Amino acid sequence: MRDAAARTADLNERIFRRISAELHDGPVQDLGLALLQLDRVIAQSEQCQVVATREAMCNDGLEDVQRSVRHAIQEVRAISGGLGLPQLDAMTFPETLARVVYVHERRTGTKVNTQFNCAPEQAPLSVKITVYRLIQEALSNAYRHAHGQGQQVQIDCAATELIVQIADAGPGFRNGNLTEWDNHLGLVGMRDRVESLGGKFNIESAPDTGTRVIARLSLREPEGMNER
């Protein structure tokens, strides 16, 4: 089951890359064209000010639409960029950690404190993919809910086990039982990724105390992962 789950994770990444390309080549292009048309309409509508009364608004609402389209383009580009992974198989494990933190800092304009007490040079591809997605999602949550306050990524080792912790200094929440998280897809996704590799996943949080995501993963390559 662990071998199958690890292979499925690799397949999912290929699907994500395809969706990423389709988002970029489809909706982003259409939204860009719509924005260009809005720019033209707004410029032309200014001519009506010559004959309009003071109560009339020739381009009433158009600027709001313009801002919404701009924001939609930014969101789709962020989703598109987040779905695709860099070629992690060609990266060392420390390079993988540095890359996911750098991408988050660049996208959000926030700072992430890193403490890599143990970062083996190499790790199984399935582990690199899981850790990348785990840190990516946890930092996105930290930015969304804690406004990037106190973002931290810590890596430790215990024998052949990798311990990953992502924390923030936000408002926190009552995490309760993991089985009650079904509506929180981000949390469920992180948990499922870790547990699919036989790892352990936990979240420590309470109101006004911030949030800490903790994952424990084996550094051993599941059998069959090289047979693709």
- The pLDDT tens digits for 134-167 are 999 999 889 988 899 999 999 999 888 999 999 9
Residue 98 sits in the same domain as residue 202: yes
Q: Is residue 227 domain-resident?
A: no
- Judge whether 166 and 173 are in contact, CB under 8 Å: no
Same-domain check for residues 195 and 131: yes
Neighbours of 37 (CB within 10 A): 11
Task: Identify residue 194 by its one-letter amino acid code.
Answer: V
- Checking DSSP bridges between strand 161-168 and strand 152-158, what pairing results, if any? antiparallel
Cβ atoms of 163 and 191 within 8 Å: the answer is no
176 assigned to some structural domain: yes
Residue where a domain stops, chosen among 81, 97, 122: 81
Report yes or no on 10 lying in a domain. Answer: no
pLDDT score of 99 more than 90: yes
Confidence of residue 211 (pLDDT cuts 50, 70, 90): very high
Looking at residue 50, what DSSP letter applies? G
Residue 12: inside a domain = no
**Domain range for residue 200?**
86-218
Give the end of a domain, one of 60, 81, 102: 81
* CATH code (residue 192): 3.30.565.10
Mean pLDDT over 67-79 rounds to 74
For Cα atoms 191, 196, 202, give the angle at the middle one, nearest 5 degrees.
Answer: 30
User: Is residue 64 situated within a structural domain?
Assistant: yes
Contacts of 218 (CB under 8 A, 6+ apart): 127, 160, 161, 162, 197, 198, 199
Least confident stretch, 51-55, 158-162, 196-200, 213-217: 51-55
User: Do residues 23 and 116 share a domain?
Assistant: no
Using CB atoms within 10 Å of the CB of residue 176, give its burial: 0 to 12 exposed, 13 to 18 middle, 19+ buried: exposed
d(CA 19, CA 168): 30
Instruction: Name the nearest CA neighbour of 46 among 37, 55, 62, 58.
Output: 58
Give φ, ψ of 154 to 5 degrees: -125, 135
Compute the distance between CA of residue 24 and CA of residue 77 in angstroms, rounded to an integer: 7
Sheet of 200-205: strand order equals: 113-116, 152-158, 161-168, 211-218, 200-205
Number of folded domains that form the chain: 2
pLDDT of 223 reads 55
Query: Has residue 225 been placed in a domain?
Result: no
Cα separation, 80 vs 68, whole angstroms = 18
How far is the C-alpha of 149 from the C-alpha of 153, rounded, in Å? 13
130 and 185 share one domain:
yes
143 shares its domain with 94: yes
DSSP code for 206: -
Q: Which two tokens stand for residue 218?
A: 């084996």
Tell me, yes or no, whether 1 lies in a domain.
no
pLDDT at 179: 47
pTM score, whole prediction: 0.68
Same domain, 148 and 130: yes
Residue 215 pLDDT: 97
- Whether residue 113 sits in one domain with residue 213: yes
Of the residues 81, 104, 125, the one at which a domain ends: 81
Q: 56: helix, coil or strand?
A: coil
User: Which two structure tokens, joined as six digits, stand for 171?
Assistant: 């408002």
